[in-house]
Each structure stands twice: as structure tokens, then as C-alpha cells.
Amino acid sequence: MKYNNLRFLYTTFSILIIISTYFSFKFHNSDIASEPYFALALLNNDNVAANYFSNNVQTISVNEKINWIIYLHNNMADIKFVSIKVKLLNSTINPPNETLCIPSPAPVLFDKSYVIKNNETWLYPFELSIVEINTVNDYLQLTSIFINNEKIYSGIISKYGYNFRLVFELWVYDHDLDNFTFNWEKGSEMRCTWNQIWFNATITN
């Protein structure tokens, strides 16, 4: 075979490889971009995921009002009925298991349901204040708190008032079960999402 023919075949083969690689990459990234998901986050009062506490001090005192915003975006390609369930934990209570999609065993203190359209972003104001704290030896007990002007009794304790956390779990309505579940299906896989914020508590200002 002549040299020119070999060069032509080599060039053609190289172009075909480049074209094949390009379309494979394009389709692969298209699949990633179209993958259904929920995005759940906690924002401060300026719609920023930072500076959640006044003076950047992660301690909340009695009757201090904290204002945050729960952020949820729906990219599930369909309208969804969802519920944000809020739980109060200390450092020893298990958070949600994201691998197995098991919610935290802590009781639900507050929940808010919403019908969210596809590609919609829902911003929900969340106001927190500690109403009453009891001291038990070296432990502080959050006896009652206000969430969006609703008084809630807790009883969660933590040594010296350190390392409390609020957990925000996303539950999605399952029509087959006629109930909310802490997961949704993606093919043969189960997916779930949650968020949390740590804080300390003190009786004094």
C-alpha cells in the first residue's frame, strides 16, 4: 500500500476516534446534567450560606432571635409534595444515615410541607429562639424553644451547652405508600438529602 494511502487511512481513523470521543463525552455529561436531584441548604438572612450567627459567635443565648432561610431546589423533572422535618440533636444522637437513607431517630420538633414545582426554588424563613434552659450539674437542657413563633418543648441536654445541632431532613411524599418518606428512587437506587447546623447555648447574654 502506498504511503499516501496509509496516511489517509491513519488520518481518517484518528478523526473518527476524536468524533467518537466527543459524542461519548457529550452524551455522558448530558446524562449527568439531567440527573434528577433535590438541593437543600440553610442560608442566613442575606441569602448566603455563611455567617449564620451574630458577630460570628456560634452561641445562642436565651431569648436571642436567630433568622435563617431554608433553601430547597427541585430538579426532579416533576412536581413534588415535600416536607422539611426539623430535629434537635446533641453530639451523641445519631444524625441521618445518608448511605442507607435512614432518618435521625430524634423526634420531629417542627415540620413544614410544600408543593414544589419542577425547577422551582423554595425559600422558607426560619426563626429560632431559646425560651428556657435548665442546668443539670454540668449539663444544659434546652427545655423549650420557639420556631416560627411556635413554642416547642424539647429536653435535649448537652455538656456545658456545647454541640447542639438542628437537623433539617427532606421527606418526599410517596403516592404508593400514601405517606412521606426520607428517600426517593433513582432507578434501582435510593437517594436522600439533609442538612444541619451546630450551635452552643448559654443562659447569659
What is the pLDDT tens value at each position of the chain, 205 positions in all?
Answer: 544 443 443 444 443 333 343 434 333 343 445 689 999 999 999 999 999 998 788 999 999 999 999 999 999 999 999 999 999 999 999 999 999 999 999 999 999 999 999 999 999 999 999 999 999 899 999 999 999 999 999 999 999 999 999 999 999 999 999 999 999 987 778 999 999 999 999 987 6
Single pTM value for the model: 0.82
The domain spans of the chain are 1-34, 38-202
CATH number, domain 38-202, options 1.10.10.10, 2.60.40.3880, 2.60.120.1270, 3.30.450.20: 2.60.40.3880
Convert the chain into a string of H (helix), E (strand) and C (coil).
CCHHHHHHHHHHHHHHHHHHHHHHHHHHHHHHHCCCEEEEEEECCCCCCCCCCHHHCCEEEECCCEEEEEEEEEECCCCEEEEEEEEEECCCCCCCECCCCECCCCCEEEEEEEEECCCCEEEEEEEEEEEEEEEECCEEEEEEEEECCEEEEEEEEEECCCCEEEEEEEEEEECCCCEEECCEEECCEEECCEEEEEEEEECCC
